[in-house]
Amino acid sequence: MRLSQYFLPTLKENPTEAQIVSHRLMLRAGLVRQTSAGIYAWLPMGYRVLRKIEQIVREGQDEAGAQEVLMPTIQPAELWQQSGRYEVYGKEMLRIKDRHEREMLYGPTNEEMITDIFRTSVKTYRDVPKNLYHIQWKFRDEVRPRFGVMRGREFLMKDAYSFDLTKEGARISYQKMFLSYLRIFARMGLQAIPMQADTGPIGGDMSHEFIILAETGESGVFCHPDWIKTDPLKEPVGYNDDLNPFFEKYTSLYAATDEKHKPGAAGIPDSELLQARGIEVGHIFYFGTKYSQPLGAKVTGPNGDLITLEMGSYGIGVSRLVGAIIEACHDEAGIIWPEAVAPYKVGLLNLKANDAAATKICDEIYTMLQQAGVEVLYDDRDERAGTKFADCDLVGLPWQIIGGRGLDKGMVELKNRKSGERTEISIEDALNKVIGK
RNA sequence: CGGGGCGUAGCUCAGCCUGGCUAGAGCGCUAGUUUUGGGUACUAGAGGCCCACGGUUCGAAUCCGUGCGCCCCGACCA
């Protein structure tokens, strides 16, 4: 993409409304624009990041055996009246009426709806287990939206729902999601740590919040230092294997938010615990028959008896992740995207845009990168070098190829946004490095 | 939902207390000169229903009332 053609409205100054760093940077880097409190429009660059995250989540869930569906944003009130949550949910739920005065709502979550879909179609134990998920916009009418996209009223969420015959089966479904989540976040370049969360009336060890570490995180966390050494992508375990050993290994390492932290409970001296801050980006839990019971989601078992399904649900805040990643990955100059979610891999800066010979070389580099399938944002604007550097750093692409005074000798500078390291190398070497990576 | 703050140019803000010239600055934008590897400098421009409605007054961005919007702290939450 040529920057001269692109819709990327960057800001030099910080908008007053944005207080936290990710919100400021998202506005300044031209990723989003706010349309009302807690509701955002996604501009081209921001939308690319959102879709990359979404795709990593999708692939991770598919691989774990979940199947993607798409449920509507608007739901009928009846379902929620059946589950009893219509009254309970309160003002957070945006209620609306259609032209026939029928009560509808903008879905804050989809347990009722998926249970309804499932119960009407699945009648025999032979059809379970199943795990269905979708990635859809949700609305919660937060009293006080804040932190930009991190706590908006409208947000994109992946939510999966598992259906099992037995609690043991539900446990397996849960463990699959546990593994899937660890891998999904790791693929995004994030260290996510599952922490035991409230399980409500059900109890047990089957509810975890996934927290990514970021200095500006909303809550304090304590965890075992060995967490840093873990790499879920390297665990030699598959979704059809017995996941118990893996689950044991990862749940036995201590990790707790400051609210739940119990001094002395870590198994190692508290002074050795890693203290950090974190942001919740995912939540998984088992809730048994909480919805299947009132909604009558049952199947016929092997003996002909009716069995109420055991369910779990598994959420990832997709739009929230955009903000969360920026909280975890930025510096004074701007965003530093992990490569897996970067809107473009390379920024190509032509510092001599008014020099025909230099421009010709940069155009060629641009073409070669495109032909090699590298996502590249080409700053071909007739701007000062300083402006280009500032914009490119702000926007946070992992690599910068800087074409300037060395161009006539076939040299460019390759800069790594994260380390800040810059090396003057030949065009060919720069291309190889960026393409090969 | 309790407490606080703020709405003036695209952005950041001054002016308001103590009402009165034609409503300002910096950045951004347009044109030109300049500069040419870290948001260059100069010149000339464009750009405003001063959040809305009502009131007080000869006169309101400024004072008063009501409403709306946005932000922050807390409670709540993915």
Phi first, then psi: give them for residue A100, nearest 5 degrees. Answer: -95, 15
pLDDT, residue A202, reads 67
Q: Which nucleotide is nearest to A145 (CA to C1')?
A: B77
Q: Would you write out chain A's pLDDT as a tens digit for each of its 437 residues?
A: 999 999 999 999 999 989 899 999 999 999 999 999 999 999 999 999 999 999 999 999 999 999 999 999 999 999 999 999 998 888 899 999 999 999 999 999 999 999 999 999 999 999 999 999 999 999 999 989 999 999 999 999 999 999 999 999 999 999 999 999 999 999 999 999 999 887 766 667 889 999 999 888 888 899 999 998 999 999 999 999 999 999 999 999 999 888 888 888 888 998 999 998 999 999 999 999 999 999 999 999 999 999 999 999 999 999 999 999 999 999 999 999 999 999 999 999 999 999 999 999 999 999 999 999 999 999 999 999 999 999 999 999 999 999 998 999 999 999 999 999 999 999 999 999 999 86
Q: Which nucleotide is nearest to A18 (CA to C1')?
A: B71
**Residues 330-369 (A) near nucleic chain B, CB < 7 A:** 333, 351-352, 354
Helix (H, G, I), strand (E, B) or coil at A354: coil
A14 touches strand B (CB under 7 A): yes
Q: Which nucleotide is nearest to A218 (CA to C1')?
A: B77
Query: How many angstroms separate the CA atoms of A391 and A381, rounded?
Result: 12
A140 touches strand B (CB under 7 A): yes
Instruction: Name the residue closest to B78, CA to C1'.
Output: A317
Cβ-contact A186, A192 below 8 angstroms: yes
Q: A383-413 burial, b for 16+ CB within 10 Å, e for fewer?
A: beeeebbbbbbbbbbbbbbbbbebbeeebbb
**ipTM of the assembly?**
0.92
**Residues 368-407 (A) near nucleic chain B, CB < 7 A:** 384-387, 389-391, 393-394, 402-406
List the domains of chain A with CATH numbers. 3-335 (3.30.930.10), 344-436 (3.40.50.800)
**Strand (E) or helix (H) holding A277:** strand A274-288
Q: Could you tell me which residues come within 8 angstroms of residue A151 by beta carbon, excluding any fewer than 6 positions away?
A: A38, A142, A145, A320
Q: Of A185, A177, A235, A231, nearest to A208 (Cα)?
A: A177
**Residues 73-92 (A) near nucleic chain B, CB < 7 A:** 91
Q: How many residues does chain A have?
A: 437
**Residues 197-226 (A) near nucleic chain B, CB < 7 A:** 209, 218
Query: How many angstroms separate the CA atoms of A103 and A108, rounded?
Result: 15
Identify the DSSP state of A124: B
A417 touches strand B (CB under 7 A): no
pLDDT, residue A178, reads 97
**Strand (E) or helix (H) holding A378:** strand A376-379
